[in-house]
Structure 1
Amino acid sequence: MVRDADATRRRLLDAAAEEFAAFGIAGARVDRIAIAAASNKAQIYHYFGNKDGLFEAVFHDLVVTTLRDSPIDANDLPEYAGRLFDGYVARPHVQRLATWYRLERAGTQDPIDIIAESNAAKVEAIAKAQAEGAVTDRWSAVDLLGLVLQISGLWSGMTPEFAALVDDEDHAHRRAVIVDAVRALLA
Protein backbone atom coordinates (compact mmCIF):
# COMPACT_ATOMS: atom_id res chain seq x y z
CA MET A 1 0.00 0.00 0.00
CA VAL A 2 2.86 2.44 0.74
CA ARG A 3 4.21 2.11 -2.79
CA ASP A 4 0.78 3.05 -4.21
CA ALA A 5 0.69 6.12 -1.96
CA ASP A 6 4.21 7.10 -3.04
CA ALA A 7 3.30 6.61 -6.70
CA THR A 8 0.13 8.68 -6.31
CA ARG A 9 2.02 11.45 -4.55
CA ARG A 10 4.68 11.44 -7.31
CA ARG A 11 2.04 11.60 -10.06
CA LEU A 12 0.38 14.52 -8.28
CA LEU A 13 3.68 16.39 -7.95
CA ASP A 14 4.54 15.83 -11.61
CA ALA A 15 1.09 16.88 -12.82
CA ALA A 16 1.12 19.90 -10.51
CA ALA A 17 4.55 20.99 -11.76
CA GLU A 18 3.22 21.05 -15.32
CA GLU A 19 0.01 22.81 -14.29
CA PHE A 20 1.76 25.47 -12.20
CA ALA A 21 4.37 26.04 -14.92
CA ALA A 22 1.65 26.54 -17.51
CA PHE A 23 -0.88 28.58 -15.53
CA GLY A 24 0.87 29.96 -12.45
CA ILE A 25 -0.25 29.49 -8.89
CA ALA A 26 -3.47 31.47 -9.16
CA GLY A 27 -4.43 30.00 -12.55
CA ALA A 28 -3.68 26.38 -11.71
CA ARG A 29 -6.71 24.19 -11.05
CA VAL A 30 -6.63 21.24 -8.69
CA ASP A 31 -9.26 19.43 -10.76
CA ARG A 32 -6.96 19.50 -13.83
CA ILE A 33 -4.04 18.35 -11.69
CA ALA A 34 -6.08 15.45 -10.30
CA ILE A 35 -7.20 14.37 -13.78
CA ALA A 36 -3.66 14.59 -15.20
CA ALA A 37 -2.37 12.52 -12.26
CA ALA A 38 -5.12 9.90 -12.62
CA SER A 39 -6.14 10.73 -9.07
CA ASN A 40 -8.74 12.92 -7.39
CA LYS A 41 -8.91 16.25 -5.59
CA ALA A 42 -9.34 14.53 -2.22
CA GLN A 43 -5.87 13.03 -2.60
CA ILE A 44 -4.38 16.46 -3.25
CA TYR A 45 -5.90 17.80 -0.04
CA HIS A 46 -4.91 14.64 1.84
CA TYR A 47 -1.25 14.80 0.84
CA PHE A 48 -0.70 18.55 0.56
CA GLY A 49 -3.44 20.33 2.53
CA ASN A 50 -4.36 22.86 -0.16
CA LYS A 51 -3.17 24.31 -3.46
CA ASP A 52 -0.52 26.45 -1.76
CA GLY A 53 0.78 23.39 0.07
CA LEU A 54 0.93 21.53 -3.24
CA PHE A 55 2.86 24.39 -4.85
CA GLU A 56 5.33 24.43 -1.97
CA ALA A 57 5.79 20.66 -2.33
CA VAL A 58 6.40 21.08 -6.07
CA PHE A 59 8.89 23.87 -5.46
CA HIS A 60 10.61 21.85 -2.71
CA ASP A 61 10.92 18.92 -5.11
CA LEU A 62 12.34 21.24 -7.78
CA VAL A 63 14.95 22.62 -5.38
CA VAL A 64 15.98 19.15 -4.15
CA THR A 65 16.41 17.96 -7.74
CA THR A 66 18.40 21.05 -8.69
CA LEU A 67 20.67 20.74 -5.65
CA ARG A 68 21.27 17.07 -6.44
CA ASP A 69 21.93 17.61 -10.15
CA SER A 70 23.82 20.90 -9.88
CA PRO A 71 25.69 21.16 -6.60
CA ILE A 72 27.64 24.36 -6.15
CA ASP A 73 31.40 24.27 -6.45
CA ALA A 74 32.48 27.72 -5.31
CA ASN A 75 35.95 27.07 -6.72
CA ASP A 76 34.48 26.47 -10.20
CA LEU A 77 31.55 28.86 -10.54
CA PRO A 78 31.71 28.85 -14.37
CA GLU A 79 31.03 25.11 -14.49
CA TYR A 80 28.38 25.47 -11.78
CA ALA A 81 26.58 27.97 -14.04
CA GLY A 82 26.94 25.53 -16.91
CA ARG A 83 25.36 22.72 -14.88
CA LEU A 84 22.48 25.00 -13.90
CA PHE A 85 21.97 25.85 -17.57
CA ASP A 86 21.98 22.15 -18.45
CA GLY A 87 19.28 21.60 -15.85
CA TYR A 88 17.14 24.41 -17.25
CA VAL A 89 17.38 22.88 -20.72
CA ALA A 90 16.53 19.40 -19.42
CA ARG A 91 13.65 20.69 -17.30
CA PRO A 92 12.26 23.88 -18.89
CA HIS A 93 9.43 24.08 -16.38
CA VAL A 94 11.97 25.01 -13.67
CA GLN A 95 12.41 28.57 -14.89
CA ARG A 96 8.67 28.98 -15.54
CA LEU A 97 7.88 27.82 -11.99
CA ALA A 98 10.48 30.18 -10.56
CA THR A 99 9.03 33.05 -12.58
CA TRP A 100 5.49 32.35 -11.36
CA TYR A 101 6.83 32.12 -7.81
CA ARG A 102 8.50 35.52 -8.11
CA LEU A 103 5.42 37.07 -9.71
CA GLU A 104 2.77 35.65 -7.42
CA ARG A 105 4.37 34.94 -4.07
CA ALA A 106 7.51 36.97 -3.55
CA GLY A 107 7.10 39.08 -0.46
CA THR A 108 3.63 37.74 0.31
CA GLN A 109 4.51 34.44 1.98
CA ASP A 110 7.08 33.19 4.41
CA PRO A 111 10.21 32.07 2.55
CA ILE A 112 10.37 28.42 1.58
CA ASP A 113 12.91 27.01 4.02
CA ILE A 114 14.84 24.82 1.58
CA ILE A 115 15.42 27.79 -0.74
CA ALA A 116 16.58 30.06 2.07
CA GLU A 117 18.88 27.34 3.43
CA SER A 118 20.26 26.53 -0.02
CA ASN A 119 21.00 30.18 -0.79
CA ALA A 120 22.67 30.68 2.60
CA ALA A 121 24.88 27.62 2.04
CA LYS A 122 25.88 28.83 -1.43
CA VAL A 123 26.75 32.30 -0.13
CA GLU A 124 28.78 30.72 2.66
CA ALA A 125 30.67 28.51 0.17
CA ILE A 126 31.46 31.50 -2.06
CA ALA A 127 32.54 33.63 0.93
CA LYS A 128 34.87 30.81 2.03
CA ALA A 129 36.37 30.57 -1.47
CA GLN A 130 36.80 34.34 -1.47
CA ALA A 131 38.53 34.27 1.94
CA GLU A 132 40.89 31.59 0.62
CA GLY A 133 41.69 33.72 -2.44
CA ALA A 134 40.21 31.19 -4.88
CA VAL A 135 37.42 33.53 -6.05
CA THR A 136 37.44 37.25 -6.66
CA ASP A 137 36.20 39.47 -3.86
CA ARG A 138 35.33 42.23 -6.33
CA TRP A 139 31.68 41.56 -5.40
CA SER A 140 30.20 40.34 -2.16
CA ALA A 141 29.37 36.64 -2.00
CA VAL A 142 25.66 37.51 -2.23
CA ASP A 143 26.15 39.69 -5.30
CA LEU A 144 28.38 37.13 -6.96
CA LEU A 145 25.85 34.33 -6.41
CA GLY A 146 23.11 36.56 -7.83
CA LEU A 147 25.17 37.29 -10.92
CA VAL A 148 26.01 33.61 -11.49
CA LEU A 149 22.37 32.58 -11.07
CA GLN A 150 21.17 35.24 -13.50
CA ILE A 151 23.79 34.40 -16.11
CA SER A 152 22.99 30.67 -15.87
CA GLY A 153 19.36 31.43 -16.71
CA LEU A 154 20.24 33.76 -19.58
CA TRP A 155 18.74 31.76 -22.43
CA SER A 156 15.70 30.46 -20.59
CA GLY A 157 14.66 33.92 -19.43
CA MET A 158 14.51 35.58 -22.84
CA THR A 159 11.44 37.08 -24.46
CA PRO A 160 10.03 34.98 -27.31
CA GLU A 161 11.20 37.60 -29.81
CA PHE A 162 14.80 37.36 -28.65
CA ALA A 163 14.61 33.60 -28.28
CA ALA A 164 13.63 33.42 -31.97
CA LEU A 165 17.12 34.76 -32.77
CA VAL A 166 18.79 31.91 -30.88
CA ASP A 167 19.53 28.59 -32.52
CA ASP A 168 17.78 26.12 -30.21
CA GLU A 169 19.88 23.28 -31.57
CA ASP A 170 23.19 24.76 -30.43
CA HIS A 171 23.22 23.74 -26.77
CA ALA A 172 27.00 23.58 -26.65
CA HIS A 173 27.38 27.16 -27.90
CA ARG A 174 24.79 28.57 -25.50
CA ARG A 175 26.39 26.68 -22.60
CA ALA A 176 29.84 27.96 -23.59
CA VAL A 177 28.55 31.55 -23.59
CA ILE A 178 27.29 31.12 -20.02
CA VAL A 179 30.47 29.45 -18.78
CA ASP A 180 32.67 32.02 -20.50
CA ALA A 181 30.60 34.93 -19.16
CA VAL A 182 30.96 33.68 -15.58
CA ARG A 183 34.68 33.09 -16.17
CA ALA A 184 35.01 36.69 -17.41
CA LEU A 185 33.06 37.91 -14.39
CA LEU A 186 35.60 36.23 -12.12
CA ALA A 187 38.68 37.51 -13.97
Structure 2
Amino acid sequence: MAIRDPESKKRSLLDAALSEFAANGLVGTRADAIAARAGCSTGLVYTYFGSKEGLFDAVLDDITERTVELMPITADDLPGYAVRLYEAGTASPEVDRFVAWYELERDGDREGRESVADAMREKIAEVAAAQQAGRVSARLGAAELVLAVQTIARMWATPPSDVVAAAGVSEAARREAVRTAVETLTAP
Protein backbone atom coordinates (compact mmCIF):
# COMPACT_ATOMS: atom_id res chain seq x y z
CA MET A 1 0.00 0.00 0.00
CA ALA A 2 1.35 3.39 -1.02
CA ILE A 3 2.00 5.93 1.73
CA ARG A 4 0.46 9.34 1.12
CA ASP A 5 2.76 12.25 1.75
CA PRO A 6 0.98 15.44 0.72
CA GLU A 7 3.79 17.74 1.91
CA SER A 8 6.32 15.87 -0.20
CA LYS A 9 4.01 16.08 -3.22
CA LYS A 10 3.51 19.83 -2.67
CA ARG A 11 7.27 20.30 -2.41
CA SER A 12 7.78 18.33 -5.62
CA LEU A 13 5.17 20.43 -7.39
CA LEU A 14 6.71 23.70 -6.14
CA ASP A 15 10.19 22.64 -7.28
CA ALA A 16 8.94 21.44 -10.66
CA ALA A 17 6.85 24.58 -11.09
CA LEU A 18 9.85 26.81 -10.37
CA SER A 19 11.79 25.09 -13.16
CA GLU A 20 8.92 25.15 -15.65
CA PHE A 21 7.80 28.72 -14.89
CA ALA A 22 11.42 29.99 -14.97
CA ALA A 23 11.84 28.50 -18.43
CA ASN A 24 8.46 29.38 -19.93
CA GLY A 25 6.58 31.86 -17.75
CA LEU A 26 3.01 31.41 -16.58
CA VAL A 27 1.35 31.52 -19.97
CA GLY A 28 3.88 29.23 -21.64
CA THR A 29 3.79 26.56 -18.94
CA ARG A 30 1.29 23.72 -18.88
CA ALA A 31 0.04 22.18 -15.64
CA ASP A 32 0.59 18.71 -17.03
CA ALA A 33 4.26 19.51 -17.70
CA ILE A 34 4.69 20.60 -14.08
CA ALA A 35 2.95 17.47 -12.84
CA ALA A 36 5.03 15.20 -15.09
CA ARG A 37 8.27 16.82 -13.87
CA ALA A 38 7.09 16.38 -10.27
CA GLY A 39 6.03 12.79 -10.84
CA CYS A 40 2.46 13.62 -9.82
CA SER A 41 -0.95 13.69 -11.43
CA THR A 42 -2.09 16.94 -13.00
CA GLY A 43 -5.07 16.90 -10.66
CA LEU A 44 -2.76 17.51 -7.69
CA VAL A 45 -1.87 20.93 -9.09
CA TYR A 46 -5.52 21.86 -8.74
CA THR A 47 -6.07 19.99 -5.47
CA TYR A 48 -3.18 21.71 -3.69
CA PHE A 49 -3.05 25.10 -5.40
CA GLY A 50 -6.49 25.62 -6.98
CA SER A 51 -5.12 26.59 -10.38
CA LYS A 52 -1.93 27.02 -12.37
CA GLU A 53 -2.05 30.71 -11.38
CA GLY A 54 -2.38 29.72 -7.72
CA LEU A 55 0.71 27.55 -8.10
CA PHE A 56 2.55 30.45 -9.76
CA ASP A 57 1.76 32.63 -6.73
CA ALA A 58 2.69 29.79 -4.34
CA VAL A 59 6.11 29.53 -6.00
CA LEU A 60 6.76 33.22 -5.28
CA ASP A 61 5.64 32.74 -1.67
CA ASP A 62 7.94 29.73 -1.37
CA ILE A 63 10.92 31.62 -2.80
CA THR A 64 10.25 34.48 -0.39
CA GLU A 65 9.96 32.20 2.64
CA ARG A 66 13.09 30.23 1.76
CA THR A 67 15.09 33.40 1.12
CA VAL A 68 14.09 34.87 4.48
CA GLU A 69 14.91 31.59 6.22
CA LEU A 70 18.23 30.91 4.48
CA MET A 71 19.46 34.48 4.09
CA PRO A 72 18.05 36.64 6.86
CA ILE A 73 19.00 40.26 6.67
CA THR A 74 21.68 41.37 9.08
CA ALA A 75 21.56 45.14 9.38
CA ASP A 76 25.01 45.21 10.95
CA ASP A 77 26.42 43.33 7.95
CA LEU A 78 24.50 44.54 4.91
CA PRO A 79 27.52 43.94 2.63
CA GLY A 80 27.60 40.28 3.75
CA TYR A 81 23.84 40.00 3.27
CA ALA A 82 24.18 41.39 -0.27
CA VAL A 83 26.95 38.93 -1.09
CA ARG A 84 24.84 36.03 0.22
CA LEU A 85 21.95 37.17 -2.01
CA TYR A 86 24.33 37.48 -4.97
CA GLU A 87 25.72 33.98 -4.35
CA ALA A 88 22.23 32.52 -4.03
CA GLY A 89 21.26 34.11 -7.35
CA THR A 90 24.38 32.71 -8.99
CA ALA A 91 23.68 29.25 -7.57
CA SER A 92 19.99 29.31 -8.57
CA PRO A 93 19.52 31.48 -11.67
CA GLU A 94 16.06 30.00 -12.21
CA VAL A 95 14.86 32.06 -9.23
CA ASP A 96 15.84 35.32 -10.95
CA ARG A 97 14.22 34.13 -14.18
CA PHE A 98 11.05 33.17 -12.32
CA VAL A 99 10.90 36.57 -10.60
CA ALA A 100 11.34 38.31 -13.96
CA TRP A 101 8.45 36.28 -15.40
CA TYR A 102 6.37 37.00 -12.31
CA GLU A 103 6.87 40.74 -12.72
CA LEU A 104 6.04 40.57 -16.42
CA GLU A 105 2.96 38.42 -16.09
CA ARG A 106 1.44 39.28 -12.70
CA ASP A 107 2.56 42.76 -11.71
CA GLY A 108 -0.38 44.71 -13.08
CA ASP A 109 -3.19 42.37 -12.02
CA ARG A 110 -2.48 41.65 -8.39
CA GLU A 111 -2.69 43.30 -5.02
CA GLY A 112 0.73 42.06 -3.97
CA ARG A 113 1.82 38.99 -2.10
CA GLU A 114 1.48 39.17 1.68
CA SER A 115 4.59 36.99 2.10
CA VAL A 116 6.64 39.56 0.19
CA ALA A 117 5.14 42.49 2.11
CA ASP A 118 5.82 40.80 5.46
CA ALA A 119 9.42 40.01 4.52
CA MET A 120 10.04 43.58 3.38
CA ARG A 121 8.48 45.09 6.53
CA GLU A 122 10.79 42.97 8.68
CA LYS A 123 13.87 43.96 6.68
CA ILE A 124 12.95 47.64 6.73
CA ALA A 125 12.33 47.58 10.49
CA GLU A 126 15.71 45.96 11.16
CA VAL A 127 17.55 48.48 8.98
CA ALA A 128 15.61 51.40 10.50
CA ALA A 129 16.64 50.28 14.00
CA ALA A 130 20.29 50.05 12.91
CA GLN A 131 20.03 53.52 11.36
CA GLN A 132 18.55 54.96 14.55
CA ALA A 133 21.39 53.41 16.54
CA GLY A 134 23.91 54.98 14.15
CA ARG A 135 25.28 51.63 12.92
CA VAL A 136 24.06 52.09 9.33
CA SER A 137 23.97 55.17 7.14
CA ALA A 138 20.75 57.18 7.19
CA ARG A 139 21.50 58.97 3.90
CA LEU A 140 18.64 56.93 2.45
CA GLY A 141 15.47 55.90 4.24
CA ALA A 142 15.35 52.33 5.51
CA ALA A 143 13.02 51.15 2.71
CA GLU A 144 15.15 52.76 0.02
CA LEU A 145 18.29 51.30 1.53
CA VAL A 146 16.89 47.76 1.66
CA LEU A 147 15.81 48.00 -1.98
CA ALA A 148 19.17 49.46 -3.02
CA VAL A 149 21.06 46.64 -1.28
CA GLN A 150 18.85 44.01 -2.92
CA THR A 151 19.27 45.66 -6.32
CA ILE A 152 23.04 45.78 -5.96
CA ALA A 153 23.03 42.09 -5.01
CA ARG A 154 21.24 41.34 -8.30
CA MET A 155 23.20 43.80 -10.45
CA TRP A 156 25.02 41.06 -12.36
CA ALA A 157 21.79 39.14 -13.02
CA THR A 158 19.71 41.94 -14.50
CA PRO A 159 21.61 42.91 -17.67
CA PRO A 160 21.64 40.52 -20.63
CA SER A 161 24.30 37.84 -20.21
CA ASP A 162 26.25 39.08 -23.24
CA VAL A 163 26.55 42.51 -21.60
CA VAL A 164 27.89 40.91 -18.42
CA ALA A 165 30.29 38.74 -20.48
CA ALA A 166 31.52 41.78 -22.41
CA ALA A 167 32.37 43.48 -19.12
CA GLY A 168 34.98 40.77 -18.58
CA VAL A 169 34.60 40.81 -14.80
CA SER A 170 35.51 37.60 -12.98
CA GLU A 171 33.18 35.90 -10.53
CA ALA A 172 35.38 36.95 -7.60
CA ALA A 173 35.45 40.55 -8.83
CA ARG A 174 31.65 40.57 -9.19
CA ARG A 175 31.25 39.39 -5.62
CA GLU A 176 33.71 42.02 -4.42
CA ALA A 177 31.91 44.73 -6.42
CA VAL A 178 28.67 43.84 -4.64
CA ARG A 179 30.38 43.97 -1.24
CA THR A 180 32.18 47.25 -1.94
CA ALA A 181 29.12 48.99 -3.36
CA VAL A 182 27.01 48.07 -0.34
CA GLU A 183 29.82 48.98 2.09
CA THR A 184 30.05 52.40 0.45
CA LEU A 185 26.29 52.89 0.55
CA THR A 186 25.72 51.74 4.12
CA ALA A 187 28.75 53.01 6.05
CA PRO A 188 27.64 55.40 8.81
Question: What interval of TM-score do these two structures reach, taking the shorter chain for normalisation?
Answer: over 0.9
> 1:167, 1:56 → 2: CA distance?
36
CA distance in 2, matches of 1:2, 1:162: 50
Question: Equivalents in 2 of 1:136, 1:8: separation in Å?
Answer: 45
2:137 maps to: 136
1:40 maps to 41
Q: How does 1:45-124 map onto structure 2 within 5 Å?
A: 45-124=46-125
Residues in 2 aligned to 1:116 and 1:142: alpha-carbon distance in whole angstroms: 12
Deviations 1:97-128 (A, max 9, x none): 11111111113112111100000111111111
CA distance in 2, matches of 1:140, 1:185: 12
Q: Which residue matches 1:173?
A: 173
Q: Distance in 2 between matches of 1:159 and 1:26?
A: 22
Aligned to 2:185: 185
AA aligned to 2:178 is: I
What are the within-5 Å matches in structure 2 for residues 2-21 of structure 1? 4-21=5-22
The aligned residue for residue 26 of structure 1 is 27
How high is the TM-score relative to the length of structure 1? Answer: 0.93
> 1:63 & 1:84 partners in 2: Cα distance?
12
Q: Structure 1 CA distance, aligned partners of 2:92 and 2:123?
A: 22
**Cα distance in 2 between the residues matched to 1:119 and 1:33:** 29
**Paired residues, number:** 186
Runs of 4+ aligned residues of structure 1 deviating over 6 Å after TM superposition are: none
Task: Give the aligned residue type for 2:89.
Answer: Y
Give distance in 2, aligned partners of 1:16 and 1:23. 10
Deviations 1:18-47 (A, max 9, x none): 011111122211111111111121111011
Residues 2 and 105 (structure 1), Cα distance of their counterparts in 2 relative to 1, 3 Å cut: farther
Identity within the alignment, %: 39
Gapped regions of structure 2 (runs ≥ 5):
none
Unaligned runs of 5+ in 1: none
User: 2:83, 2:4 → 1: CA distance?
Assistant: 36
Determine the C-alpha separation between the residues in 1 that align with 2:165 and 2:138: 37
SS of equivalent to 2:108: coil
What is the CA–CA distance in structure 1 between the aligned matches of 2:168 and 2:70, rounded to whole Å? Answer: 25
Partner of 2:39: helix, strand, or coil? coil
Matched residues in 2 for 1:144 and 1:4: separation? 42
